[in-house]
Chain A
Amino acid sequence: MNVVYLRRLVIIVSVISLFLLSTYTYYYSPPSFSVSDFIHTMDSDKYLEKTISLSGTIRDPLVKENHLFFKVCSGATCVLGVIFNYKDFQKQMVFNNQTIKVTGKYTIFNKQKEIIVSRLDYVNT
């Protein structure tokens, strides 16, 4: 074995590994819950600082300084959602009583649990 051979081997292995990793992350789906199941049944603290998907109904959407705030609710149970620097199509998706699936990082801000939304999907009801 020499430097050239090792270099080629390393390049091949790293390209294959990068491809596998990209494929995996592309097809990966974060854990998905309804809001009421997530808050009442699951150990929701386990998912802090992790990406999850929550399904529920939108309530009280509010635009403030280019950020979109709303609640994702299942019955009386709600989780605060926020989209920073929202896009127009996202604002169009977020309106009262719309059933939606939000995906993003579940975190705590000002002692309140919220989800920083990175993706919105319609849910067929």
Chain B
Amino acid sequence: MLILEIIIGVFLGFVLGLVPNLHINTIGFLFILVGLLSLYPQNLFFFISVAVSQLVSSFVPSCLFGVPNDQTILTIFPTHKLFLEGKAKLAIFLCMVGCFFGVFFSLLLLPILFLIFNVLGSFSFFIYSAILFVLLMFVFEAKDLKNKLASLSIIVISGALGVLTLKTSYFLKEPLLVCIFGLFAAPFLLIAIFNNPKKVFQKEETPKSSVYFFTSLLGVFSSMFIILIPSFSSAQAGLVVSKIKNNLSSNEYIVLFSSIAISSLIFSFFLAFTFFKSRLGYIVVLRSFDIITLNINWLVFCLVVVISVCLSVLLVLLFIDDFILFVNNSNHRAINIVVFLISVFIIFSISGKSSLIFLLLSMFIGFLPIIFNKRRVILMSYIMIPTLLYYI
């Protein structure tokens, strides 16, 4: 029965992960809507498998369509670069490498996380200093005063949007869902739809790369410190590491960010089972239905996580050629339109009519880096500034 739970969870998570812009927190909300949590309250490992599998397969829409959620958000920058070079298959493959090795390193480092959490659980000084450091780097890496001011303006504007939507929940349900899409994905989708750029054919040859063990371990290690702080996401861990170790290649960045994403998820479950701390909305939902309890069998948990990652990576690798064939043979403009409409539909379904204003606002802000020729990554101040203000 347990193995059946895992297999069903993996398949369900795999399918849900292929839907662009669908975050695991939204899936938790959907599970409440359909009553799945009430029907199967004791099937904890099914819900763990869904979460793991959904994360692994969500790298596919991130790589192919440039539509991330806040767990996969940093991967879209190097993966989009590879997509434009016709190497989307390599990008997906590298995400799978990062997930596969990331899961082993994160399980091995669980005892260290336990010790660190007991010692440093509330030691936030160095972490918010790191955020401030990254924000200042965004400003000062620009060459002249005009560019510095442009970067600063974008940081302040997107930060203000973050404070408005994340710190106060009066206006909007699921603000991350709306604004991450609006800031990062929608502008590029719209440009692709209206400009109809020259189709980039993705190479179908078997990708090959180095294993990047150390990069994966670095990602897991950084995630371990970031997970200690409430409201920090894997995206922030990736940003801090990328600034500290900034001579990484695109391939290494992809492995780094995917390792961070998978290890953040595993560490979130670990903190929930050990210290009853929730770092993800999905885990809050599982706890509210008493699915997560303090008595977990750790051996079974580790084996379930490993099996879930292996099966989902296998599924992605099995269908990777089909994904590439689909992208190559289909009308990119039509795909972009469908992806855009699906994402907007999901946003309206979850967040309601009030999300339209915030979607439009975040889209306008998302165009600013394009207009001023800045890197999209500075829009991450949307999450970073509210987090920083929380600790000051």
> Which residues does A use to contact B, with CB under 8 Å?
1-4, 6-7, 9-11, 13-14, 17-18, 20-22, 24-25, 46, 49-50, 105
Write out the residue numbers on chain A whose beta carbons fall within 8 Å of the beta carbon of B317: 3, 6-7, 10
Is B149 positioned at the interface, with any CB of A under 8 Å from its CB? no
- Please give me the 10 A-B residue pairs with the lowest Cβ-Cβ distance, nearest first: A14-B310, A2-B208, A21-B303, A17-B306, A17-B307, A10-B310, A49-B42, A1-B211, A10-B314, A17-B303
Chain B nearest Cβ from A13, distance in angstroms: 5
Report B113-151 residues with CB < 8 Å from chain A CB.
none
- Contact of A6 (CB < 8 Å), options: B3, B93, B299, B304: B93
Is B82 positioned at the interface, with any CB of A under 8 Å from its CB? no
| B3-A22 in contact (CB<8A) | yes
Write out the residue numbers on chain B whose beta carbons fall within 8 Å of the beta carbon of A20: 303
Total cross-chain contacts (CB, 8 A): 65
| A3-B93 in contact (CB<8A) | yes
| B310-A13 in contact (CB<8A) | yes
15 other contacts beyond A1-B209, A2-B209, with CB at 8 A cut-off?
A: A1-B208, A1-B210, A2-B206, A2-B208, A3-B93, A3-B206, A3-B207, A3-B317, A9-B100, A10-B100, A10-B313, A14-B306, A14-B314, A17-B306, A21-B3
> Could you pull out 13 A-B pairs where Cβ atoms are within 8 angstroms?
A1-B97, A2-B209, A6-B93, A7-B314, A7-B317, A10-B313, A11-B314, A14-B306, A14-B307, A21-B2, A21-B304, A21-B307, A49-B41
Distance of A24 Cα from B2 Cα, bound (Å): 11
Distance of A10 Cα from B42 Cα, bound (Å): 28
Chain A nearest Cβ from B29, distance in angstroms: 23
Beyond A6-B96, A7-B317, A24-B303, whether A17 also contacts B208 by CB under 8 A is no
Write out the residue numbers on chain A whose beta carbons fall within 8 Å of the beta carbon of B295: 46
Closest residue on chain A to residue B210 by CB atoms = A1
Distance of A89 Cα from B41 Cα, bound (Å): 31
Closest residue on chain B to residue A105 by CB atoms = B42
Write out the residue numbers on chain A whose beta carbons fall within 8 Å of the beta carbon of B314: 7, 10-11, 14
Q: Say what secondary structure dominates the interface of chain A.
A: helix
Interface flags for B172-191 (1: CB within 8 Å of A; 0: not) read 00000000000000000000
Distance of A20 Cα from B304 Cα, bound (Å): 10
Write out the residue numbers on chain B whose beta carbons fall within 8 Å of the beta carbon of A3: 93, 206-207, 317, 320
Distance of A21 Cα from B314 Cα, bound (Å): 19
Is B300 positioned at the interface, with any CB of A under 8 Å from its CB? yes
Closest residue on chain B to residue A21 by CB atoms = B303
Closest residue on chain B to residue A19 by CB atoms = B303
Report B175-223 residues with CB < 8 Å from chain A CB.
206-211
Is B50 positioned at the interface, with any CB of A under 8 Å from its CB? no
Distance of A18 Cα from B299 Cα, bound (Å): 12
Interface flags for B85-104 (1: CB within 8 Å of A; 0: not) read 00000000100110010000
| B320-A6 in contact (CB<8A) | no
Write out the residue numbers on chain B whose beta carbons fall within 8 Å of the beta carbon of A4: 206
Write out the residue numbers on chain B whose beta carbons fall within 8 Å of the beta carbon of A49: 41-42, 290
- Contact of A17 (CB < 8 Å), options: B42, B310, B313: B310
| B311-A14 in contact (CB<8A) | yes
Closest residue on chain B to residue A47 by CB atoms = B295
Closest residue on chain B to residue A9 by CB atoms = B100
Closest residue on chain B to residue A16 by CB atoms = B306
Distance of A7 Cα from B316 Cα, bound (Å): 10
Chain B nearest Cβ from A17, distance in angstroms: 5
Closest residue on chain A to residue B305 by CB atoms = A17
Write out the residue numbers on chain A whose beta carbons fall within 8 Å of the beta carbon of B290: 49
Report B1-45 residues with CB < 8 Å from chain A CB.
2-3, 41-42
